[in-house]
Amino acid sequence: VHFQTALLGPHSSAVDNLADRRLDQVTVTYVLILQRQGTREAKLRSNTRGGRYAGESAVRAMRTFFRMAIADGLLPRGWNPAWEVKVPRRLPSTRRALRSKELLAINHVVVTTGRDVPLDSLLLRLHSETACRRSGALSLRLADLDTESCAVRLREKFGTERWQPISPTMVASLLEHAQSRGVRHPGDQLLRNANGTPLTRRRYDLMWKRVQARLPWAAKLGVSAHWMRHTTLTWVERHYSYAVARAYAGHTDTKGGSTLTYIKGMPQEVARALSAYTGEPHPLAELGRL
């Protein structure tokens, strides 16, 4: 079986470099060359890390590819040249919590520019209150809004799912948004453009591109929606605890030792932190039902 026949992506660098070779002819050297090519050709961004992540992705993709080839019986067990190539060490994230004046500047740009200020303002507040990822916001459906408990169901990385408290004001804003933009059925995507079409990642790209165009420091840092997540979770950790911040973020991994098995923020504690953050009372702050 040739490399080109086995690969699904006909335009990948692997095909360009290894298309004429048999699977069992791909060596460690070729995987290393692919990694370096990915690093060299990585797209330049404001928050670029020198192509390290592109190189890492190339190695991990090759490891997965050969593991699948072994599982399919195309290669003998244990034959995976990509395992001999070291994955670049992850660098610490450059993201941080935004300062108050930075948040004010971002909000000013959002509410004074753009063609759909109500939507952009809603997105900013949603991410600020819930510290959700972009995928969590885009996956929201009308059925995911619990008006009685003041919470939304977030579906994010690795198939995780959780109910996240939101303020009564956010509940009212989401309901008004849904009604004004034609969201009627429980399975309908909640967030919509002005013409009623479902929101996509493109909306975020345009909003933050507008922010960066007017705030040079934001462009230099590569500020995006994920910085709102850092900002909210930092505040929660500082004013409450690491356990509450971890629950607020929806983290479920156990990296950091077995103690994390026992350190868990309770739902009512998350609601209490939200209440303090927004300055609004929350029905679950004392009840703990979510």
Phi-psi region of 263 (alpha: psi -120 to 50; beta: other; left: phi over 0): beta
Share of the chain above pLDDT 90, in %: 56
CB neighbour class for 61 (10 Å; exposed up to 12, middle 13-18, buried from 19): middle
Question: What b/e readout covers 39-59, taking b as 16+ CB neighbours within 10 angstroms?
Answer: beebeeeeeebebbbbbbebb
Query: 225-239 and 117-130 are packed helices; what angle lies between their axes, rounded to 10 degrees?
Result: 40
pLDDT at 10 (0 to 100): 38
Neighbouring residues of 280: CB distance < 8 A, sequence distance ≥ 6? 167, 168, 169
pLDDT at 136 (0 to 100): 95
E runs forming strands in the chain = 145-146, 151-155, 161-165
Retrieve residue 208's tokens: 């933050």
Distance (Å, rounded) from C-alpha 242 to C-alpha 233?
Answer: 9
pLDDT digits (tens, 9 = 90+) for 23-40: 888 888 888 877 777 777
How many other CB atoms sit within 10 Å of the CB of residue 198?
14
Distance (Å, rounded) from C-alpha 85 to C-alpha 29?
Answer: 9
Distance (Å, rounded) from C-alpha 286 to C-alpha 290?
Answer: 11
> Residue 256, SS3?
coil
pLDDT at 254 (0 to 100): 59
Successive 10-residue mean pLDDT values, the chain, 290 residues:
44 56 81 77 57 76 87 87 80 84 96 93 96 95 96 90 95 97 96 96 95 95 94 96 92 65 81 95 72
Q: Which domains are present in the chain?
A: 3-84 (no CATH), 100-278 (1.10.443.10)
Distance (Å, rounded) from C-alpha 212 to C-alpha 109?
Answer: 9
Distance (Å, rounded) from C-alpha 278 to C-alpha 260?
Answer: 28
pTM above 0.85, yes or no: no
